[in-house]
Amino acid sequence: MADDASELVVETQHLTKIYQNRQIALNDVTLTIEPGSVLGLLGPNGAGKTTFLRLVLGLHRPTAGWAKVFGRVMSPNAADVRRRVGYIPTNPQFPKGMTPISYLDYIARLFGLPADVRKPKLATLIRAVDLLPHSGDPIVHFTPGMTARLAVAASLINEPDLLIWDEPTHGLDIEARRSMLELIKTLAAEKTLILSSHNLTDVDEVCNHAAVLNKGQLIFSGTLQDLKGRIKKNHYELDLDGEQKAITKAVAALRGLADFKQVLLRQRRLEVKLGDDTPNSALLAQLFQVLNDNKVSLITVRSVGMQTEQAYLDLVEREENRGFARLYKDVEAA
């Protein structure tokens, strides 16, 4: 972790990147990331997520503003700060003709790790990411899942305090994606993470903070709960069990209740939309009571639409509709 618990891990101020006076990739982004955060960096394609990460790493130089990591302004030559950072690019590329052992040894040497530290470390990591049977095979023949696991090992070899992973689940199959998410959850206990992702389900599962970029501008920065709190939780789906006659009767009873705006039954799946005037917990209690009175069992209940996804879409849509008002309003942060 950071030397000082109060030290900000990442701090950007008016961070702006304009490529060759032709493309505004990032526009006046001011953001702070505290130790222990797992930040999901969200945004559509071309929103500036990768540019932001590259500026934070010092791979790009800002056109205006600055990015500090562990209190130091990042620049292309800030090698000592990057020793505390583990990075996975979107599509990791590997030098030709290398095996996992030679590649991890190379990466460890790039961090300046002496042989007595790096050799045991790389062996442990190869074992941990389950590449032991392939440790001598050329990387060029690896599947995307194996490549992703190797990239994870490379990003952890220097025992970084900050992990910056650009779309780590991109191109992975279900099993590899699940492993990656579990690893992120484990790492989140002791490290600060920035995850750029298109997959809002992943962000929902592993992140506690979110930052949303749209067309190079930061339109939200705060906790994931704050982001979710922006949408109304009033749309539910329930899978029911019991006699069809009893279910129909229960549905009829629900339709008679005032605050149930919409009650739809498709076979044994019930979809309800609740009104905004009464707390949804009270209305759900009523619903369960009606089901119980009619001897209808409940198999599953879920909120319709992924909350984070809905909140994200709402944010982007609202930002699109703001027009020239963007000029005057600040970022909506918690």
Partner 1 sequence: MDQPAVVTVRFNKFLPYWAVLQTDLRQTLRSWVYRLWVFMTVVAAAGFLLYRVGVHKEAGIFHSAAGQCGDLFRIMVVGSLAVVVVLAVSAVGAERGTVADSVLSRGISRHQYFLAKWHARLAVVVATFAALATAVLVASYLLFKSDAESDLSLGGGLAAVVAVSAVLAAIVSWGVTVGALANGTVLGITVFWLVLYGAGFLLSLLPEPYPSPDRELARLKFVLMGHYNGGLLTNLVLGSVVLSGLAAAVGVLGFGKRDV
Q: Which is nearer to partner 1, 96 or 245 (CB)?
A: 96
Yes or no: say if 14 and 65 are a contact pair by the CB < 8 Å rule.
Answer: yes
DSSP 296: -
Give SS3 for 139: helix
Yes or no: say if 267 and 240 are a contact pair by the CB < 8 Å rule.
Answer: no
Q: Cβ of residue 136: shortest distance to partner 1, in angstroms?
A: 17
Report the run of H or E that residue 25 belongs to, with start and end: strand 23-33
Alpha-carbon 323 to chain mean position = 28
Distance CA 63, CA 155 (A): 28
Piece of the chain touching partner 1 by CB under 8 A; list 4-12, 37-45, 53-61, 260-268: 53-61
Q: Cβ of residue 254: shortest distance to partner 1, in angstroms?
A: 56
Distance CA 333, CA 180 (A): 29
Piece of the chain touching partner 1 by CB under 8 A; list 52-60, 168-176, 235-243, 307-315: 52-60
**Nearest to residue 219, comparing CAs of 107, 333, 115?**
333
Q: Which is nearer to partner 1, 48 or 231 (CB)?
A: 48
In the shown chain, the binding pattern of residues 224 to 253 toward partner 1, with x for contact by CB under 8 A and - for none, equals: ------------------------------
Q: Which is nearer to partner 1, 155 or 214 (CB)?
A: 155
Structure-block tokens of residue 17: 């990147």
**Per CB under 8 A, 59 contacts partner 1:** yes
**Per CB under 8 A, 29 contacts partner 1:** no
**Per CB under 8 A, 256 contacts partner 1:** no
In degrees to the nearest 10, what's the CA dihedral of 67, 70, 76, 77? 150
In the shown chain, the binding pattern of residues 135 to 174 toward partner 1, with x for contact by CB under 8 A and - for none, equals: -------------------x---x----------------
Q: Which is nearer to partner 1, 83 or 326 (CB)?
A: 83
**Per CB under 8 A, 22 contacts partner 1:** no
Pick from 18, 73, 101, 117 the residue near partner 1 by CB under 8 A: 117
**Per CB under 8 A, 24 contacts partner 1:** no
Site for partner 1 in 78-97 (CB under 8 A): 78-80, 82-83, 85, 87, 89, 92-97
Note the helical H segments in the chain.
49-57, 79-82, 100-110, 115-128, 144-156, 174-187, 200-206, 224-228, 244-255, 280-293, 307-321
Q: Give me the half-sphere count of Cα atoms (radius 13 Å) on the Cβ side of residue 264.
A: 7
Structure-block tokens of residue 248: 């129909």
* Residues paired with 193 in a beta bridge: 38, 163
Q: Which is nearer to partner 1, 23 or 292 (CB)?
A: 23
Q: Cβ of residue 295: shortest distance to partner 1, in angstroms?
A: 59
Site for partner 1 in 187-206 (CB under 8 A): none
Q: Cβ of residue 186: shortest distance to partner 1, in angstroms?
A: 20
Q: Which residues contact 284 (CB under 8 A, 6 or more apart)?
A: 236, 274
Q: Cβ of residue 66: shortest distance to partner 1, in angstroms?
A: 15
In degrees to the nearest 10, what's the CA dihedral of 164, 169, 171, 175? 150
Q: Cβ of residue 122: shortest distance to partner 1, in angstroms?
A: 13
Q: Cβ of residue 303: shortest distance to partner 1, in angstroms?
A: 39
Give the footprint of partner 1 on this chain (CB under 8 A).
Answer: 19, 54, 57, 59-61, 76-80, 82-83, 85, 87, 89, 92-97, 106-107, 109-114, 117, 154, 158
